[in-house]
């Protein structure tokens, strides 16, 4: 919406959401996850997928988080979003 309207409230909302995601990501090691991990489910769900065990769409969820972060960077100029995305894929 920010890219469509230029309304700063949308850009501020994106910055808030990205900031909160960054906080979650920074707490990943304390929660027992790898550094940079950011998702709505534990890493063990990825292990379940790789073992062909039932689990609900973890790749879809990870894709949506990454796509949102890339869009936040590209469409809103949010540099923190790119940093969070990089930590997700690099660790």
- What is the distance between the alpha carbons of residues 56 and 58, in angstroms, rounded to a whole number? 6
Span 22-58, pLDDT tens digits: 999 999 999 999 999 999 899 999 899 899 999 888 8
pTM, whole model, 2 decimals?
0.89
- What is the distance between the alpha carbons of residues 89 and 91, in angstroms, rounded to a whole number? 6
Residue bearing the bigger pLDDT, 57 or 15? 15
- What is the distance between the alpha carbons of residues 15 and 13, in angstroms, rounded to a whole number? 5
pLDDT of residue 58: 84
DSSP 8-state symbol, 34 = P
């Amino acid at each position: 919406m920010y890219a469509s309207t230029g309304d700063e409230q949308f850009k501020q909302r994106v910055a808030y959401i990205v900031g909160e995601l960054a906080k979650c990501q920074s707490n990943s090691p304390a929660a027992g996850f790898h550094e940079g991990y950011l998702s709505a489910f534990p890493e063990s769900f990825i292990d379940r997928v790789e073992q062909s065990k039932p689990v609900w769409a973890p790749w879809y969820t990870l894709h949506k988080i990454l796509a949102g972060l890339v869009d936040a960077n590209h469409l809103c100029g949010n540099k923190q979003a790119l940093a969070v995305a990089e930590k997700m894929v690099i660790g």
